[in-house]
Structure 1
Amino acid sequence: MENYIWLFATAGGAAILGLALAYGLASQRKLSRAEKERQDDKVEDLYGKR
């Protein structure tokens, strides 16, 4: 019985971590063109043009 509890704890923890990572990746969205341009402008302001 103790082996099953240990198996459930390790497999369950890995499954929960995998589900959390999958949810985080699935819920990300792409930046719109305007947002990407604003981001690029701010990066150039911060680091200067190369």
Structure 2
Amino acid sequence: MPENFLWFLIVAGGPVLLGALIAYGMMKTRRLRRDEREARDRATRKLYGDE
């Protein structure tokens, strides 16, 4: 009985934990502000040259 419960935790709890970690990471990633996006784009254009 206890070993069945352990396998249940591994099989069911693993994906739930992984999903929670992915969701947490996505929530912590912030979007760039407008000035940050423009600075990034300017630096990219400078690095690769205007096409």
User: What TM-score, normalized by structure 1, do the two folds share?
Assistant: 0.81
Q: What are the ranges of 5 or more consecutive residues in structure 1 without an aligned counterpart?
A: none
SS of equivalent to 1:30? coil
- 2:24 and 2:42 map into 1 onto residues whose CA distance is 30
SS of equivalent to 1:11? helix
Residue 16 in structure 1 maps to residue 17 in structure 2: yes
What is the aligned partner in structure 2 of residue 44 from structure 1? 45
Residue 6 in structure 1 maps to residue 10 in structure 2: no
User: Percent of aligned positions with the same letter in both sequences?
Assistant: 42
Q: What are the ranges of 5 or more consecutive residues in structure 2 without an aligned counterpart?
A: none
User: What TM-score, normalized by structure 2, do the two folds share?
Assistant: 0.80
Q: How much is the aligned-residue C-alpha RMSD, in angstroms?
A: 1.2
Letter in 1 for 2:20: L
Q: How many residues align?
A: 50
- C-alpha deviation, 1:7, in angstroms: 1.5
1:17-44 residue CA offsets vs partner (Å, 9 max, x unmatched): 1011001111121111110000001111
